[in-house]
């Protein structure tokens, strides 16, 4: 008896062949834990985090997850009330990535981090 299961390919195989990297941008308000998310979920080391002071982030810097080399993550500065500069940086980054010719260099997803509703003044 011949089993068809031996001939099945993983559903991710064609995707990985056409795009070897998955690029993610993390955005959110200041102080919600974007950099901590990078460390905790993606295992990225060497990120400055502080509960007392605003983080430092270069949106163009690529962080490659040591737990999965296919993940490329970008960190952004936090959004602050009355400061539209960071929003412009994010919009420009998204537009630049959208225009890139290779799929691996384009942005595939945006993760918006926020405080729990019980302590989020914007919820």
pLDDT at 95: 97
Full-model pTM: 0.73
Mean pLDDT of the chain: 78
Provide the pLDDT confidence category of residue 108 given band limits of 50, 70 and 90: very high
Whether 27 contacts 79, CB under 8 Å:
yes
- Return the beta strands (E) in 1-123 as ranges: 22-28, 63-64, 71-75, 109-113
| Closest C-alpha among 52, 26, 21 to residue 39 | 26
Checking if the pLDDT of 1 tops 50, the result is no
**Mean pLDDT in residue range 31-53:** 70
* Range ranked top by mean pLDDT from 33-37, 38-42, 80-84, 87-91: 87-91
């Amino acid at each position: 008896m011949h089993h068809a299961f031996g001939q099945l390919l993983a559903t991710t195989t064609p995707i990985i062949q056409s795009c070897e990297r998955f690029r993610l941008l993390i955005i959110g308000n200041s102080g919600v834990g974007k950099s901590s998310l990078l460390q905790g979920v993606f295992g990225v080391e060497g990120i400055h985090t502080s509960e007392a002071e605003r983080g430092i982030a270069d949106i163009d810097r690529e962080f490659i997850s040591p737990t999965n080399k296919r993940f490329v993550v970008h960190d952004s500065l936090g959004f602050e009330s009355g400061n539209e500069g960071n929003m412009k940086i994010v919009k420009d980054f998204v537009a630049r990535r959208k225009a890139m010719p290779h799929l691996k260099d384009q942005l595939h997803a945006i993760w918006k981090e926020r405080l729990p509703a019980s302590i989020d003044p914007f919820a």
